Amino acid sequence: MSFYDFTGKTVREAIARACEELGAEEPLLEIEVLEESTRGFLGIVGQRDARIRVRKRNVLKEVMEAEPTPPVREEEPPPPPALAPPPTPTPVQDVEEEEPYSPDEL
């Protein structure tokens, strides 16, 4: 890929020009600041524009060369707690049935 040089009164202005001319947004550009702008003496003598060197990033190549990340696995939920076994019935003791009282016994 080719490099392009741009100038502007500020680095921001130079980047804006590069984006406009190359038809790309700033994150898609590789930008190197060659020289910051200077105001000069009294803003008149010795004033210099900012200079940058730019090239378009090959995003596809960067993605392909990046180390693959392992897939994110969702953890399985823990198994539900085991249910307690039902209580064992206790044997009922046989109770001798009493015969009802007769009116004479009272």
Q: What is the pLDDT of residues 47-57, one digit of tens each?
A: 888 999 999 98
pLDDT band for 15, please (50, 70, 90 cuts). Answer: very high
**CB-based contact 21:48 (threshold 8 Å):** no
Q: What is the pLDDT of residues 18-71, one digit of tens each?
A: 999 999 999 999 999 999 988 776 666 778 889 999 999 887 787 777 777 777
Nearby residues of 21 by Cβ (< 8 Å), 6 or more positions away? 4, 6
Strands laid side by side in the 50-56 sheet: 4-8, 50-56, 29-35
